[in-house]
A and B are shown apart, each in its own frame.
Chain A
Amino acid sequence: MIPAKFEYIKASSVSEALGLLDKHGDEAQLLSGGHSLIPTMKLRLNQPKVVVDIGKIPGLNSISEDGSNVVIGANCTHHQIATSSVVQGGVNVLAQTAKEIGDIQVRNKGTIGGSLAHADPAADYPAVILASGAKIEVEGSGGKRTIDATDFFLGIFETALESNEMITAVHVPKSSGGVYLKFSQPASRFAVVGCAAIKNDSGVSVGLTGVAGCAYRASAVESAYNGDAKAAAAHAVDGVEVMGDNFASSKYRAHLAKVFTERALNALG
């Protein structure tokens, strides 16, 4: 399988990449790890005229601490996140989640920026990004802005990113004792359903992925939770249009969402 013809440009800085996005508009696509983009190009579901490789831009693959946040560069691979002592120490649930993505080879190449921008309804990070109240740092030729995780995921493969913007980093508030549990699709390991639960000052925050067109904060579970995991988890799909596909019908998915939410809340202890 060979993608349709395209022009390839390796960007050496964020501003060069943004300039290329401005110049080529909808004809251009960014390439980071390529583990979502290249398969879709080979299947001709996606035929960009210009591919802007941001994978080697210096400075986008570092992990650091900034007060109460862990700051993860957009180009950090899943493997880097899974094995980083800063992530393990600050927000271990994110390191554990990264470790569960795909397989060794996918984790060595796929990046957090690519995963969030791609917004696959079955991707793992969105659940944790939502539950932890992370902020996504994006840059366009007009400047920088940050987007709250709750405002970022809009629908199937749809985010709040403008077509001339790119993700530069993710700011994840530190937390301890978070949990991410998923029911994996047996071949790809994508989440049929995944639930992240994190303790906070007022109780718990819960993010669900795989259930609907995009990941969401299960606020009905959060407000119902008073120590009884089962009762709170019964609200996991309140007000949500649950997806059905060849892996799981919508009824089964709704059931899984409740079961995994209950297990995640119980695992929080």
Chain B
Amino acid sequence: MKINLKVNGKDHTSDVEPMMSLAAYLREVLLLTGTHVGCDTSSCGACTIKMDGKAVKSCTILAVQADGCDITTIEGLSQNGEMHPLQASFKENHGLQCGFCTPGMIMTAENLLSENPNPTEEEIRHGLEGNFCRCTGYHNIVKSIQHAAESN
């Protein structure tokens, strides 16, 4: 089935099987492998991207549902070679260890800060309910997001 969509500002037209997830489309067709797939069943948040401005789990969306949509992946956050403030803050605050969860954490945090630019620590922890990290124990992730919010 033919789909037209915008990914990180660029228009794409592809022919996909309806059964293909949006996460698989981004990774395997567009080769944007920054979007990770952990659980593949909507629990871990590693596959989080932005679809029409909202953070969503791309493993649980069909590529055909994204027809006509505007998608942003982790690769689309940096501007002119400069890291996005959240990316810089994760680097600065040791917000990652293995990095598997990181793209999803950052995409969710971006959604959180766009709706609530000055969240409390509790609001950040609540906001990350749909994102699992097996390495960091979350403290430095929360710190990274707080830091990014403060420096904005």
In whole angstroms, what is the CA distance A43 to B20 when docked?
Answer: 14
In whole angstroms, what is the CA distance A7 to B18 when docked?
Answer: 7
Is there contact, CB below 8 Å, between A34 and B111?
Answer: no
B112 near A: Cβ within 8 Å?
yes
Is there contact, CB below 8 Å, between B41 and A8?
Answer: no
Is there contact, CB below 8 Å, between A106 and B18?
Answer: no
CB distance from A144 to the nearest CB of B (A): 27
Is there contact, CB below 8 Å, between A39 and B60?
Answer: yes
Q: For this complex, into which size category does the number of interface residues on chain A fall?
A: 20 to 34
Is there contact, CB below 8 Å, between B65 and A105?
Answer: no
Given contacts A1-B41, A42-B41, contact A103 B18 (CB under 8 A): no
In whole angstroms, what is the CA distance A187 to B131 when docked?
Answer: 10
In whole angstroms, what is the CA distance A254 to B129 when docked?
Answer: 27
Residue of B nearest to A41 (CB): B19
Given contacts A34-B60, A104-B111, contact A10 B54 (CB under 8 A): no
Q: Which B residues lie within 8 Å of A10 (CB)?
A: 64, 67
Is there contact, CB below 8 Å, between B60 and A104?
Answer: no
A28 near B: Cβ within 8 Å?
no
Partner-contacting stretch, out of B42-50, B77-85, B87-95, B134-142: B42-50
B40 near A: Cβ within 8 Å?
yes
Is there contact, CB below 8 Å, between A43 and B41?
Answer: yes
In whole angstroms, what is the CA distance A79 to B64 when docked?
Answer: 22
Q: Which B residues lie within 8 Å of A38 (CB)?
A: 21, 42, 60-62
Given contacts A34-B60, A104-B129, contact A39 B42 (CB under 8 A): yes
Besides the known contacts A35-B42, A104-B55, 13 further A-B residue pairs in the complex with CB atoms under 8 A apart: A2-B20, A10-B64, A38-B42, A38-B61, A42-B41, A79-B54, A102-B129, A104-B112, A104-B127, A105-B45, A108-B54, A108-B55, A109-B61
- Sorted from nearest, which 3 A-B pairs have the closest CB atoms? A103-B130, A8-B18, A103-B129
**Which A residues lie at the B interface, using CB under 8 A?**
1-8, 10, 31, 34-35, 38-39, 42-43, 51, 53, 55-56, 79, 102-106, 108-109, 187-189
